[in-house]
Amino acid sequence: MKKNYIWKYEQIDEKISILGGQDCNAIIFENNNAFTVLINGYPLTSGSALTLSGHIGEIDKTNYNLTWNANVGVIGVWRKFYVA
């Protein structure tokens, strides 16, 4: 069964905890900083991306903790949402 979806993008510039994408099916973290960031303790090196996606119909409820050791930083986050 086909499902319609949209992608939403945001930049996160603070060390926070975000809920899995607020009912998204997929989430992508982009690290465009000059340093490594941690996604739930997983090291995402500079210039890398981490893609986590579910099967058709699955929804991500994971709580993601974003941290880094620098004073400033920005992480790009893409989320895939189903729409009616």
Instruction: Report the number of distinct structural domains present in the chain.
Output: 1
Domain that holds residue 43: 4-83
DSSP states along the chain: ---EEEEEEEEE-S--EEETTSSBSEEEEEE-SSS-EEETTEEE-TT-EEEEEPPTT--B-PEEEEEESSS---EEEEEEEEE-
Residues 47-84: pLDDT tens digits? 999 999 999 889 888 889 998 888 888 999 999 999 87
- Give the residue-averaged pLDDT of 25-54: 94
Query: Residue 19: which CATH number?
Result: 2.60.120.10
pLDDT of residue 41: 93
Portion of the chain with pLDDT greater than 90, in percent: 54
